[in-house]
Structure 1
Amino acid sequence: MNSLNLKTRTSAVSLAAAAALSSSQLFAGGFVEDSKAGLELRNFYFNREFRSSNAAQSTAVEWAQGFMLRYESGFTEGPIGFGLDGLAYLGVKLDSGSGRSGTGLLPTGDSGDSADDYSKLGATAKVRVSDTVLRAGTLQPKLPVVQYSDLRLLPSVFQGAALTSTEWKDLTLDFGNLSRINKRDSTDFEKMVVTNGASRNITLRSSGIDADSFVYGGGTYKWNSGLTTSYHFGQLENFYKQHALGLAYTHPLGENSSLKADLRWARSTDDGNGVAGDGIDNNTLDGMLTYSLGHHAFSAAYQKMSGDTGYAYISGTNPYLVNFLVVGDYANKDENSWQLRYDYNFAGVGLPGLNFMTLYASGDNIDLGMAKEGKEWERNTVLSYVVQSGSLKNLGIKWVNAIYRNNFSSDYNDNRVVISYTLPLL
């Protein structure tokens, strides 16, 4: 889909929303008074060194500037409230070159060179009745069965409709139907497919089958201040159905310490004929325990894949897994993986806003066929600082380092530097 078609889609959504809002309602009640708008500036430097001798290129190095304008209206007065949200994203190349593209910061053409700039536009009409809100248009869901990606310069977005209800105390219900995805380094809204690859034993059929619909639904219930449980269902047309259960429990151990458990289970089965062979078949069990003591946090995680394939999720999104890290997701066929992590908040030594994280993860038992076992490991280090006061308050600076090794694909050394700042406009 070209940029003209994208603008046409966006304009149609905007006109439909405007038609639903009478001129008397548009400026009434909280539509204007409760409006919010902000411009996020994101400067992103990405350097990936390919360590494999047979890699197609030695490095992927790019630098880009992102501008993300977001507007969120309030709702008009009355038993039925109407509103309108919008976004406009722009990414601009600052540095790239032949043989250095492919970082995911910028779209790449057939020549392999990165675009000088790219943009995304979106609008969302919304209707509120009591504590239930229906949204239609541009969406960015963040649920156990579908999560948009915000790990590069500009976030991914979807087209579709979503309903969120908080009518009952402590219970949040979510339902929706997504029809297209605009990936993080793209300007086009595309049909959806499942994430695939040989190590997952997920191969798309050559006929080019894709999905016009991802239907989801589920709920999250907060039993008390420490315990939350959830169930969600997702179905990607022609590819898979998925049931996901979650439990999060935090138990205080003392004045400055606590133990948190985050447990998850997902069952994915085949739906249609988009995947070669016997289709999708996966069970995923994963969880993380975190012990917090003052400004320190120590975590241990375990993730287990079983079934005929790896974990199923929409291509271009983030999987809901405890071992989804900077480089790997550890979601291959039959893979067992573990992680050890340490976090420190430097407010403990009088430096609020400065945070440090480091982890090590390892995965093995990957079924690569021909009696070959795949293995992988990864080290991540993140140092971030957010200015706490003064004229540069909320300016964020983050350095991310990742070292990744395996015996079935490319090895990477990554360094990423992100400088971000959000300017409130309303």
Structure 2
Amino acid sequence: MNTTINVGVLTLCTFLAPSVFADFISDSTGKLELKNFYYNRDYRDPDAMQSKREEWAQGFALQLESGFTEGTVGVGVDVLAMAGFKLDSSASRTRSGLLPVRESGKAEDSYGEVGFTAKLRASKSTLKVGTLVMPPLPFLEKNIGSLQPQLFKGAYLRSQEVQDLTLDAGRITQVNQGNSTNYEALGVGTGSRKNIVVRGKNQSNAFDFAGGSYAFNKQITGSYYYSALDSLYTKHSAAVQHTYPIAENQSLKSELRYARATDNGNTNIDNTALGALMSYSWGAHKWTGAYQTMSGETGYASLRGSFSSLVNFFQYSDFANKNENSWQARYDYDFTALGAPGLSLFTRYASGSNVDRGPGRSDGREWERDIDVTYAFQNPTLKNVKVRLRNAMVRSNFERDIDETRLIVSYERPLW
């Protein structure tokens, strides 16, 4: 496998002098990931047109990243190849987000795609153009809750020229959801009770963003980002994080998040989101509490299909409907302290209220309880194998109740 991949990379560089592409080859990396994903969402409504979404699929992802050529401006290329295969599904249980769905309502037996990314590096700044797997950003967090990650087309610049300062800027023009091989126009997520109305088509030609984060010291970090989904909305996002070491194996972390979104031409978007989080860590234990509030004429606005960067974003709900107030309690435990390295657990509960259900009705309520257990095998034979079980229970007076279970078995292996 190593020989085949290195030959392919060398072929890309045949027109460059050996001294130029030495680092292009020596700094290259390769990774293979296998993901077996079982998804079961029960709407607890046997009379509904679709009372359950239940599918099982196998995914493969090959990621190759070159180094950079030598010189003032280094050149490189990344390749991402992905494929998914149906193991179990039926027309009455599709739309889990794991597999593409045909017009007949049945899931595709398989799907796949290849993405290429050109990259340039000068000093401590890197520009990527083409297929983008975005890092987590306060205003855009890719959806990774499926068999394959959400992908974007566009250009992304990250600069770290100044110590402790990271700057990000870019333009995204298209999105490829995790269960699709087709790139589509960008849009805004509307949600069930977010009251977001789009005049005309829910489509945009570009999503532009710029901003950055600064570490004032080892304990305090602040960030600010401006983003705009052309013709749909603009947003200002800011956050402050503070970590305070209390004593050995003890620390206190607090975080404040703010986001202000307004109409950018063809919507009624008007939302202010405020969130506060505090966690206390003591050895293998961590306790977290959070509060989140929405105000304005609509709920939280984000790219359609992407995750919300909110303190109360859960497995199913983001508690970001119009006028919603919510609180969260969470507990994490690392079983290494009990002699079981690789095993970890967290459980959390959030309750939301004051959701706008229509004219004169602000009695919308919802709650969600999540349990998440992960085990990374320590045995050398099964090294790099990880099993994750995720279970959620959601109850609401404005949406259908659900019980959801996800079982994910993944395997990652560096190729050289």
- TM-score band, normalised by shorter chain: over 0.9
Instruction: Note if 1:43 corresponds to 2:43.
Output: no
Instruction: Note if 1:232 corresponds to 2:222.
Output: no
Could you tell me which of 262, 277, 288 is aligned with 2:277?
288
Work out the CA distance in 2 between the residues paired with 1:90 and 1:49: 27
Quote the offset at 1:53 in angstroms. 5.7
Match of residue 203 from structure 2: 210
| Aligned ranges 1:174-189 → 2 under 5 Å | 174-189=168-183
Identity %: 44
Ranges of 4+ aligned residues in structure 1 off by more than 3 Å: none
Match of residue 412 from structure 1: 402
Could you tell me which of 247, 252, 261 is aligned with 2:240?
247
1:147-175 per-residue CA deviation (whole Å, 9 max, x = no partner) reads 21111100010000011100000000000
Could you tell me which of 260, 277, 301 is aligned with 1:267?
260
| Aligned ranges 1:11-410 → 2 under 5 Å | 22-24=15-17, 28-52=21-45, 55-141=48-134, 142-205=136-199, 207-273=200-266, 275=267, 279-372=268-361, 373-410=363-400
Work out the CA distance in 1 between the residues paired with 2:359 and 2:191: 16
TM-score by length of 1: 0.92
Work out the CA distance in 1 between the residues paired with 2:409 and 2:215: 35
Higher mean C-alpha displacement, 26-35 vs 376-385: 26-35
Match of 1:362, SS? strand
Report the AA paired with residue 396 of structure 1. Answer: K
Work out the CA distance in 2 between the residues paired with 1:367 and 1:118: 40
| Number of equivalent positions | 403
Match of 1:189, SS? coil
Work out the CA distance in 2 between the residues paired with 1:338 and 1:116: 41
CA 209–359 in structure 1, closer or farther in 2 if over 3 Å, else same: closer
Work out the CA distance in 1 between the residues paired with 2:120 and 2:192: 44
Work out the CA distance in 2 between the residues paired with 1:66 and 1:424: 17
Report the AA paired with residue 260 of structure 1. Answer: K
Report the AA paired with residue 150 of structure 2. Answer: S
Work out the CA distance in 2 between the residues paired with 1:209 and 1:155: 22
Match of 1:417, SS? strand
1:145-202 per-residue CA deviation (whole Å, 9 max, x = no partner) reads 1121111100010000011100000000000000000011111111111001341001
> Are the counterparts in 1 of residues 376 and 387 from structure 2 also a CA contact under 8 Å?
yes
| RMSD between aligned residues | 1.5
Higher mean C-alpha displacement, 66-75 vs 370-379: 370-379
Work out the CA distance in 1 between the residues paired with 2:101 and 2:326: 33
Work out the CA distance in 1 between the residues paired with 2:338 and 2:202: 56
Work out the CA distance in 1 between the residues paired with 2:253 and 2:30: 35
CA 225–398 in structure 1, closer or farther in 2 if over 3 Å, else same: same
CA 125–369 in structure 1, closer or farther in 2 if over 3 Å, else same: same
Report the AA paired with residue 391 of structure 1. Answer: T
Work out the CA distance in 2 between the residues paired with 1:198 and 1:301: 23
> Are the counterparts in 2 of residues 296 and 345 from structure 1 also a CA contact under 8 Å?
yes
> Are the counterparts in 1 of residues 151 and 175 from structure 2 also a CA contact under 8 Å?
yes
TM-score by length of 2: 0.94
> Are the counterparts in 2 of residues 179 and 213 from structure 1 also a CA contact under 8 Å?
yes
Work out the CA distance in 2 between the residues paired with 1:45 and 1:119: 19
